[in-house]
Amino acid sequence: MEKKYLERETPPVISKLVEIVNKAEEYLWRGMLNAYERKHPGEKLTYGGAGNDLDLSILQPGDIIIYSAYSRDLNPPELMGILGPVLELLLIYLLGGQCGHTAVYVGEGKLVEGLPITIRKVDYEIVHTAGSVEVYRVKTTEGIKGKAVKFCESKVGVSYGILHCLPLFYPIAKHVEGEQYYCSELAWAAYKSAGIDINAYPELHLSPPINGFALAPQNICDSDNVELIASAGKR
């Protein structure tokens, strides 16, 4: 059964539907966030969580920060008040356990992450505005970590898109090079492009949580190619 799925290509109609949905998703995010910015001009970026005391001095370039799916740690709160329960259901039951968001530390006090509406580079102090966080370090050379960091930085400004992972049973649910990325896909793609796979379930994954070919944050947490370095907050 799995081999059949692995060998088939994504039908053109599925690819077209994903393209349409991605554009609609970007339009929705942009409209809601623009409305929030008009209401809260100049407000500093936060995750809107309960806070944590993670020691940021331990971070090394290439480290991956994973945030809990349960804390709904995303701003704007108006947006999460509407979409929070839906996203939580998607993250926990389809896309991978307790891990809900992913960012990559790129050095000099900066993170690169995928959040609506774009891949962005932000100050790492934003981590303290989340709830539960974990830091994973990839078991590889400094050279590969450097390549992964450069990959992430090269994608800053690229569109964010979570819905292109919805055709779970087709390889189109993730890609190394593309016009959109969701958060965990970006972290995986950065290392995959440098020659190391941090996806614990690279093939079709049908056992609960059912994430198919999609690249969930939990896939990274469960990888043998990463190790947990630190955690803070409560799940």
Specify the residue for token string 């190790």. Answer: 227
User: Is the full-model pTM beyond 0.85?
Assistant: no
Length of the chain: 235
Matching CATH number, 2-232, of 3.90.1720.10, 3.30.429.10, 3.40.50.300, 3.30.70.260: 3.90.1720.10
Percent of residues, the chain, with pLDDT higher than 70: 66
Q: Is the pLDDT of residue 96 over 70?
A: no
Q: How far is Cα 219 from Cα 65, in angstroms, rounded to an integer?
A: 13
* Residue pLDDT, tens place only, 32-83: 667 766 777 777 667 777 789 999 999 999 999 998 755 444 544 445 554 5
Answer left, alpha or beta for residue 218, where phi above 0 means left and psi between -120 and 50 means alpha.
alpha
CB neighbours of residue 164 within 10 Å: 23
pLDDT value for 7: 42
